[in-house]
Amino acid sequence: MISIVGAGPVGCYVASLLAKRYDVNVYEQKEAIGKPIQCTGIVTSAIDEVVNVKKTVINTIDTIRIIAPNKKYIDVNFKKPDYVLDREKFDNYFFNKAVDNGVGFEFGARFRDYKNGKILVNRTEIKTNLLVGADGPFSMVAKKNKMYGDRKFMTAMQYRVKSKVEEDLVEIYLGYGCFGWIVPEDRNIARIGVIDYKSPGIYLNKLLRDRKYKILENQSGLVPIYDPKLKTQKERVFLVGDAATQVKASTHGGLVPGLKAAKELGKSFRNYERNWKRKIGRELWLSLMIRKRLDRYDSEKYNGLIGLFNREKVKEVIEERDRDFPSKILFKLLLREPRLLKFI
Ligand SMILES: Cc1cc2nc3c(=O)[nH]c(=O)nc-3n(C[C@H](O)[C@H](O)[C@H](O)COP(=O)(O)OP(=O)(O)OC[C@H]3O[C@@H](n4cnc5c(N)ncnc54)[C@H](O)[C@@H]3O)c2cc1C
């Protein structure tokens, strides 16, 4: 028996894969899948390499406008569009996949401990052969197995609002905490948020200041920062998704990396850590380095960066390349525009 803690998209996906070979049970502390939503739900088309989630896409985005503090901006048009997901439908897609493959689910089931081959869920002990922690940023599975490490978090504060927006354009605001965003669901509804280490609320108010809007939902939450030193595999315990800090620190995107790691866990337990690091380790590390560098930027530096990116030869590279692989983009960018070196 394999026990998986957490019925988020990553937990359900890994459960659906493992259920082809093993008996699998998922324990979820909440009573329902996909609620409350704490996500912007934007992913690159790289998700197509993992699963086909087209039915859960509610908007596609061809252009990202990156706006510097001095209000100058660049529009980057992507050859392959980004997807805006209906996160509730998205989570249910993976849940249904797991149910179809015979996974057992228990809701209102809080994992508390793991000792001597038994997990404690609420007040019941259950025998298990292997334990998978897909239980999000504060992973109790990680804590109870001394795999929590020294993880750090960013706070993403987001409102789903009724407001007039451009339907096929995402706006990214530099200099608002780590960054701010406006992601349209359609021309009347958007997800507007800011991510920062300390005070995203101040920047979010600034972002909303000159806009007419009505708040429909608060969708805020914490995002773990990738920790390359974290142990994600220890004897019979495995961590995946946010529980393993598999999130791109530059964009706080955790869905594609989490699902890619889940795919590796679904293939093999033995070399899981080595295998997922081979697939996404370098990109997660580079994203972390980019975040650390950007954290030192002030308004002037962001203005200078956007100025350089406005040049056609640089824009061309970003538009063509897959943003889930920053290493590929960085190298080409430097060849085209050596002055970018001073920003790196
Ligand atoms: C505001 C915000 C915006 C974001 N926007 C994006 C975005 O646009 N694109 C993107 O790719 N990523 C985004 N992310 C990150 C993304 O939401 C996560 O990376 C993703 O949800 C991780 O999925 P998961 O299945 O690993 O964890 P989760 O979705 O967190 O699921 C973990 C599950 O485990 C359950 N659980 C926890 N503890 C226990 C326990 N002890 N016992 C039983 N069950 C337990 C929880 O209830 C939960 O259902 C955003 C995050 C935030 C906060």
Of the candidates 163, 168, 121, the residue with the CA atom closest to the CA atom of residue 141: 121
**Residue 118 CB–ligand 1 contact under 6 Å:** no
pLDDT surpasses 90 at 184: yes
For residue 254, give the ligand 1 atom closest to its CA: 19
**Residue 254 CB–ligand 1 contact under 6 Å:** yes
Which tens digits make up the pLDDT trace of 270-291? Answer: 999 999 999 999 999 999 998 9
Choosing from 255, 259, 283, 323 the residue with most ligand 1 atoms within 8 A of its CB, the one to mutate for a pocket test is 255
C-alpha 7 to ligand 1 mean position (Å): 9
Q: Whose CA is nearest to atom 22 of ligand 1?
A: 242
**Residue 178 CB–ligand 1 contact under 6 Å:** no
pLDDT for position 312: 67
pLDDT surpasses 90 at 311: no
Q: Whose CA is nearest to atom 53 of ligand 1?
A: 221
Could you give the percent of the chain with pLDDT greater than 70? 90
C-alpha 333 to ligand 1 mean position (Å): 33
Which pLDDT band holds residue 305 (cuts at 50, 70, 90)?
confident
**Residue 135 CB–ligand 1 contact under 6 Å:** yes
Could you give the percent of the chain with pLDDT greater than 90? 78
Cis-peptide into 36, omega within 30 deg:
yes
For residue 158, give the ligand 1 atom closest to its CA: 1
C-alpha 255 to ligand 1 mean position (Å): 8
For residue 139, give the ligand 1 atom closest to its CA: 38
C-alpha 66 to ligand 1 mean position (Å): 26
For residue 27, give the ligand 1 atom closest to its CA: 43
pLDDT surpasses 80 at 337: no
Cβ neighbour number for residue 320 with a 10 Å cutoff: 13
Q: Whose CA is nearest to atom 15 of ligand 1?
A: 254
**Residue 155 CB–ligand 1 contact under 6 Å:** no
pLDDT for position 322: 58
**Residue 241 CB–ligand 1 contact under 6 Å:** yes
- Contact (CB, 8 A) for 171 and 181: yes
Residue 228 — φ and ψ, nearest 5°? -65, -20
Residue 339: burial class (beta carbons within 10 Å; 0-12, 13-18, 19+): exposed
Q: Which domains does the chain have, with CATH numbers?
A: 2-34+87-149+229-293 (3.50.50.60), 42-86+152-223 (3.30.9.10), 296-343 (no CATH)
Which tens digits make up the pLDDT trace of 185-222? Answer: 999 999 999 999 998 999 999 999 989 999 999 999 99
Which pLDDT band holds residue 327 (cuts at 50, 70, 90)?
low
